[in-house]
Structure 1
């Protein structure tokens, strides 16, 4: 029994609507939770206002970029508008703008719920950890349901309306380009404030993390929302769309050769089941009598994984899909969980690496940095092996099915790995919500018992965030390998039209391929450096402003009643700096891709993408895990170990965390989006690279 692809597209739209319904119910559940503390409401409103102000300015800047990009797409893609079908160019431009708009909405939804859930989570902590956990988790789940529902709905509608996989790549490029800049801008904002608040507050003055005397403390909490919520939502929206787009490009191509629509049907079926499994997983998530919030979050992921595996197996049997492709999808999902477990080991404050770095911190900041970097580098190995193994096994497993199926197997492994992305986003968005709640609890003077509860929730958020980032980076790795396959498909289609021979692979002994390989490998390093230098420059400006306020505002340092810092000055510095710094790094990556393509042609681009993927994955995994490790080392010491708060080890750990902040929240998670963007640019520009390059 094989149903038509239209059946699965309609089913996907229905499941997307169910996800929106779940998101709406969760939103109103969180909103209905009691909150009566006037001080917490006051601070919460400041955070909400700051986050929305930044988002409005960021989106205004990105609107200009998207407008220019859409105009260029209209003129040049998929062919010069004066040479091809005008309607195709118009469709491509509209698809690009739709992808950008969907991605922007994902960020806005995240901000809307996070700035409510942080207040509810803080106040719920006065009634115990379970109630507080549920408020934080369900707040994050609103975003999980809305983002994945939007991505599945968007992909379904684009293909249903246009029937054009190239338009689907345009939609994905819109999502990716906006996500790249949103993640970079939000990351620069949040880490500017976080670093400045920690260095002046904790290291220089020895005051608590969220002390209301610190002028940067509100900007720090705003940053959690614009970076870790809005930016992350756009990022994972992009990853999910890109994985489906890559799989569908190959699926439709295979279906044309074989007749029917079984492969495209399978992509929609598995994606819809993944979202359905996430809805069930979110609905059943609870903190049990035994175990803390970390266990509850991880168990919800494992439950969702199990539901997905069973339901997709049932669908494969019912609709007569190919079992080899189901196995490739299952392998991707299993490897995603393994990558998450490996990340957990290197970042969880109950595990040996955190304890070893905490011990090293007693000897000073240099040893904290050295040990953290070392463990971060080691942590990349299991994930890199996992990605490589899943790609190899998926390739070999599906190879006997015929030409093209081997790469399709890798694409389906990526779909499998991202199938439970609704749960992944829910867990990830939980982190900044409970981090904000911890700050609100301190500023609202809710007492040490409440702070202990919010600290436990925050520590779980940091651990799970490292797991979810590992998951997202691993999925991005498989997705871009699949996008490399999509690039080859696009090149071969264009070559057939131009009467040229197609390509089957890339020989690194070919000097044009090697040229591209070397340039591509360097781009993630330069991209990361540009983002972190942006944080560095911005943080220096904010530190100077904090020093000015402590010096000029009489009674601020002593905490005299009625003396309030000028919070808005720090928010303005973070906003202006982030807007200024967010565009150059992304443009550098896109321009480098175009230059390599027009110099070396499609062969050079093949090398460029290969180098970019390998180098980018290594950097992303290393920086995300090292940053999470340093963050939890600081929290481990603050909980009373290795000297506790105020000790030399604590000051060293704060320095380590300061280095780790732009690693894990600015550069690291932005790299996988950068890889996706250059892969999509390459596919969309393949015809032009084939026709106009200096070296063929």
Structure 2
């Protein structure tokens, strides 16, 4: 049975690649825009690929060093005769490579789809929407197909769940730096372009006179496409890794039912996403929000039905199905909550817009307040999902409660193919809007791309909330995987299978880890935001220099073009300089806590890291999305429209929110996953070598 299901998983992965190829061919076959659209679009494509090449060159060296360390020390020193180290090192490199490939595929199609969507906007909204959505769906299909294929292949070759952790660590570590680096790049350019263009000069968002405008569009691709693709690739792989580690420990030598369930449910999730993507189209209302939401609901319903049928036919446990359904349902609810706090049709955005009439201080105060309010429903949702899955599966026997939580995470991430498609749609249509404005395609095309962009901003807020919530359940499951790994090692050393059953916070070693772990997400966020701050100041100085020294630039004299490359270079160099310290800080902190306090301290560290990380990630993601759509709500003509005092205050709020929602916020969930995986991989070392 297990082999048949794994072959089914490979077949579904291949089907996803076929769907991705068909979508890519369709997007590429759409009519091209005028010469100016094509010229600017190719400029954006070259800039994105150049940055990605530089970033991957640095990350390749990092991956090589880490692979050598894994080869030497994990799971045990190689000189003690451990042959598993070779498998772990190779799995790590494969995971990192697949994660990098996910980003590259996303960039390749997004930088074509933006031009096609811009061109289609001249004829109507339906084909412009399809060009943006199907461009994003190429990445959705490729990312999830690659992650499922990678996990299945590694498991079939090794039948070792720890090797899956190595594969997941490769994906997570690369995603951590890719998301951080892309986030710093994109928000450096976005902030600089907004502050000088909108506030100082009062020129439109994508005015070609602004030297930072091309860097801003490049940033959308390297941050929101490549970065988020690597992030969700990592979350999906990590959820499967946690479920497989726990499931394999529960399976007997005569049955692999739990592992079979994991692969079956993951495969049906991808199949549901393939069908859901195929149903996405504009209805009679020409409402892009409705089109995006309806395809998501189709995918969700299909997954629930297909997994129920599989449970009945293949004799899986209905309790395990219920745990997956709980995760799926809570993921949907958290998406709705994120939508309420960030959608420009809802009251929070309207209240913050009204507050902006009194100045930027009130924009910030109200936005921060709503951001914090948005945290409670999402945190309660994650807590309820974990508790409900735990209680539903606990009667199945010892260890099944944590397996239930891991399957809840798998259920929540089951529709990740559709989520990535929706998420990548956002930056594609944002770029399309910029191309329309820079190429002067007219008010009709601008109105259409504004509508598509507004839907993209809303859906990005929803997908970020979903991604963070999914990471929350995943890392709770990874905490269970950590305990499983520790107990397996302890049993091999004669300490017993129940060496670690929980973490007592009254134990000073656990409490030490708890306090340190709680502080790490805040420090990590501060380092990333300060990186954006420093880099944006350098770019603003460059923009000022160009406006002062290039004659006719500010006046828009025909033939006078800014030095776009200078701004792209500042964003790229600064991002590559700033991305390494924050990631290293999180990794080194984990190792120090483990070597000082051992596995008990690591338990506290992970618990604190999870709780504070989720809180900060949700707060920053939702408050940033709220400020962004407040600005767009005013720009639509409300409360004085563009150029009004309310608009200037909202631009300040959006500027503060940019590194919140696109740099620090979504990077935190990757940071949590990375330290959880390091802890599991180092569990043997921490158990046998620590100060206390």
Give the TM-score of the pair, scaled to structure 1.
0.99
C-alpha distance in 2, partners of 1:565/1:190? 19
- The alpha-carbon deviation at position 194 of structure 1 amounts to 0.1
- In 1, distance between residues paired with 2:624 and 2:5? 41
1:445-460 pair list within 5 angstroms: 445-460=440-455
| Alpha-carbon distance in structure 2 between the residues aligned to 1:513 and 1:5 | 39
- Displacement, 1:500? 2.4
1:178 aligns with 2:167: no
| Structure 1 match to 2:558 | 561
1:275, distance to aligned residue in structure 2 (A) = 0.2
Q: 1:345 corresponds to which residue?
A: 340
**Aligned Cα root-mean-square deviation (Å):** 0.6
Moved over 3 A (4+): none
Q: 1:631-642 to 2 correspondence within 5 Å? A: 631-642=628-639
Residues 282 and 288, structure 2, Cα contact 8 Å, conserved in 1: yes
The corresponding residue for 1:480 is 475
Q: Which residue of 1 aligns with 2:31?
A: 34
Distance in 1 between residues matched to 2:334 and 2:578, nearest whole Å: 32
Match of 1:95 among 91, 94, 107: 91
Partner of 2:524: 527
Structure 1 equivalent of residue 543 of structure 2: 546
CA offsets per residue over residues 641-685 of structure 1, 9 Å max, x none?
011000000000000000000000000000000000000000000
Could you list the per-position Cα deviations for residues 347-390 of structure 1 after superposition, in whole angstroms to 9, with x for gaps in the alignment? 00000000000000000000000000000000011110000000
Say which of 610, 615, 632 aligns to 1:613.
610
The worse-fitting range, judged by mean Cα deviation, of 35-44 and 347-356 is 35-44
Q: Secondary structure at the match of 2:79?
A: coil
Q: CA deviation at 1:586?
A: 0.5
Distance 1:330 1:290 in 2: 31
- Cα deviation digits, residues 534-555 of structure 1 (max 9, x gap): 0000000000000000000000
1:426 aligned partner: 421
Alignment of 1:371-386 (within 5 A): 371-386=366-381
After superposition, the C-alpha distances for 1:597-616 in whole angstroms (9 at most, x for unaligned) are 00001000000000000000
Q: Quick one: which of 678, 682, 695 aligns to 2:679?
A: 682
Instruction: Select which of 209, 233, 252 maps to 1:213.
Output: 209
- Give aligned pairs, total: 690
Q: Give yes or no for the alignment of 1:113 onto 2:103.
A: no
Q: 1:133 corresponds to which residue?
A: 129
Q: In the aligned structure 1, how far is the partner of 2:157 from the partner of 2:453?
A: 44
Return the alpha-carbon distance in structure 1 between the equivalents of residues 213 and 488 of structure 2: 54
Provide the C-alpha distance between the structure 2 equivalents of 1:494 and 1:643, rounded to a whole number of angstroms. 66
Q: Does the residue aligned with 1:127 lie in a helix, a strand or coil?
A: coil
Offset, 1:36: 3.5
Indicate the SS of the match to 1:694.
Answer: coil
- Displacement, 1:85? 2.6
Structure 1 residue aligned with 2:400: 405
Quote the residue 1:508 is aligned against: 505
Name structure 2 gaps, 5 residues minimum: none
Aligned equivalents of 2:134, 2:457: Cα separation in 1: 17
TM-superposed CA distance for 1:295, in Å, is: 1.3
CA distance in 1, matches of 2:214, 2:683: 46
Among 160, 178, 189, the alignment partner of 2:185 is 189
> Which residue of the partner structure matches residue 64 of structure 1?
61
CA distance in 2, matches of 1:619, 1:234: 21
Deviation, structure 1 residue 299: 1.1
Partner SS, residue 642 of structure 1: helix
1:30-429 counterparts in 2 under 5 A?
30-86=27-83, 88-256=84-252, 259-290=254-285, 292-429=287-424
Q: 2:492 aligns with which of 477, 480, 497?
A: 497
Task: Name the residue aligned to 1:657.
Answer: 654
Counterpart contact for 2:242–2:478, Cα < 8 Å: yes
Q: Give 1:596's match in structure 2, choosing from 576, 584, 593.
A: 593
Partners of 1:554 and 1:158 in 2: CA distance: 59
Is 1:461 the counterpart of 2:450? The answer is no
Work out whether 1:644 is the aligned partner of 2:641.
yes
Q: SS state of the match for residue 146, structure 1?
A: helix
Mapped partners of 1:233, 1:259: distance in 2: 38
Shift of the alpha carbon at 1:499? 2.2
CA contact (8 A) 2:33 2:116 kept: no
Contact 2:33–2:115, Cα closer than 8 Å, also in 1: no
Q: In the TM superposition, what is the alpha-carbon distance from 1:291 to its structure 2 partner?
A: 5.5
User: What per-residue deviation string (whole Å, max 9, x for no partner) do you get for residues 568-610 of structure 1?
Assistant: 0000000000000011000000000000000001000000000
Q: Structure 1: give runs of 5+ residues left out of the alignment.
A: none
| 2:689 aligned residue (670, 689, 692) | 692
Is the contact made by 2:349 and 2:629 (CA closer than 8 Å) also made in structure 1? yes
In the alignment, the residues of structure 1 paired with residue 383 and residue 679 of structure 2 have an alpha-carbon distance, to the nearest angstrom, of 22
**Distance between the aligned counterparts of 1:342 and 1:298, measured in 2?**
14
Aligned-residue offset at 1:106: 0.1
Residue 178 of structure 1 deviates from its aligned partner by: 0.1
Aligned partners of 2:285, 2:559: CA distance in 1, in Å?
44
- Conservation of the 8 A alpha-carbon contact between 2:126 and 2:286: no
In the alignment, is the contact (CA less than 8 A) between 2:330 and 2:382 conserved in 1? yes
Measure how far apart 1:78 and its partner are: 1.0
**CA drift at 1:496:** 1.3
Give the deviation of 1:151 after TM superposition: 0.2
> Corresponding residue for 2:431?
436
Query: Could you say what secondary structure the match of 1:82 adopts?
Result: helix
The equivalent of 1:9 in structure 2 is 6
Cα offset, 1:84, TM superposition: 2.9
The answer to whether the 8 A contact 2:33-2:118 is kept is: no
